[in-house]
């Protein structure tokens, strides 16, 4: 399997919005945004300090990641990364693309970053299993009364 990460650009907004919508549905999120709103949100992220990269193979786009570098809370000289969204298209799941994408992300985009933070919704047990397999461990629990 040959995968690459490439930086997302304006022409990718439609596919990014569609993948983001699938992610919202898959994780059981309460996010009510429609495709137009998701496209605009992606556009906004592209113009700020967020990074959006597309995971691609020889056939096309496999998934995407949205992340941001932040100063480490316990060090003035280190950075950490916050992965806000990581998505693999349904047709590519359970074939190793997700894990390979993470390994590639760590070596190509997050090299030297010691702490990587993610959030996984409790309504997303498949996501929990994936992140555990990728080496992430629970650190804290955020609870809400809704």
Predicted confidence band of residue 1 (pLDDT cuts 50, 70, 90): confident
Q: What is the pLDDT of residues 6-56, one digit of tens each?
A: 999 999 999 999 999 999 999 999 999 999 999 999 999 999 999 999 999
In-domain check, residue 145: no
Q: What is the pLDDT of residues 106-125, one digit of tens each?
A: 999 999 898 999 999 999 99
Please give the pLDDT value at position 77. 64
Count of structural domains, the chain: 1
Using CA atoms, how far apart are residues 34 and 39, in angstroms rounded to an integer? 9
In-domain check, residue 72: yes
Q: What is the pLDDT of residues 53-80, one digit of tens each?
A: 999 999 999 999 999 999 887 766 678 9
In-domain check, residue 146: no
In-domain check, residue 144: no
In-domain check, residue 49: yes
State whether residue 131 is helix, strand or coil. helix
Please give the pLDDT value at position 73. 74
Please give the pLDDT value at position 71. 86
Using CA atoms, how far apart are residues 3 and 71, in angstroms rounded to an integer? 29
In-domain check, residue 116: yes
Torsion on CA atoms 71, 43, 91, 81, rounded to nearest 10: 0
Please give the pLDDT value at position 134. 94
In-domain check, residue 80: yes
- Residue-range definition of the domain harbouring residue 12: 4-133
Q: What is the CATH number of the domain that holds 115?
A: 3.40.630.30
């Amino acid at each position: 399997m040959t995968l690459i990460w490439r930086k997302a650009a304006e022409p990718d907004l439609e596919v990014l919005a569609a993948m983001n919508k699938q992610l919202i549905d898959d994780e059981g999120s309460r996010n009510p945004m429609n495709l137009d709103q998701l496209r605009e949100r992606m556009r906004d992220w592209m113009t700020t300090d967020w990074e959006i990269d597309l995971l691609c193979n020889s056939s096309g786009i496999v998934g995407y990641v949205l992340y941001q570098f932040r100063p480490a809370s316990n060090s003035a000289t280190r950075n950490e990364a916050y992965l806000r969204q990581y998505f693999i298209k349904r047709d590519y799941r359970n074939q190793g693309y997700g894990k390979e994408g993470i390994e590639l992300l760590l070596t190509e985009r997050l090299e030297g970053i010691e702490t990587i933070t993610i959030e996984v919704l409790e309504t997303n047990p498949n996501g929990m299993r994936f992140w555990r397999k990728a080496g992430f461990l629970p650190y804290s629990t955020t609870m809400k009364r809704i």
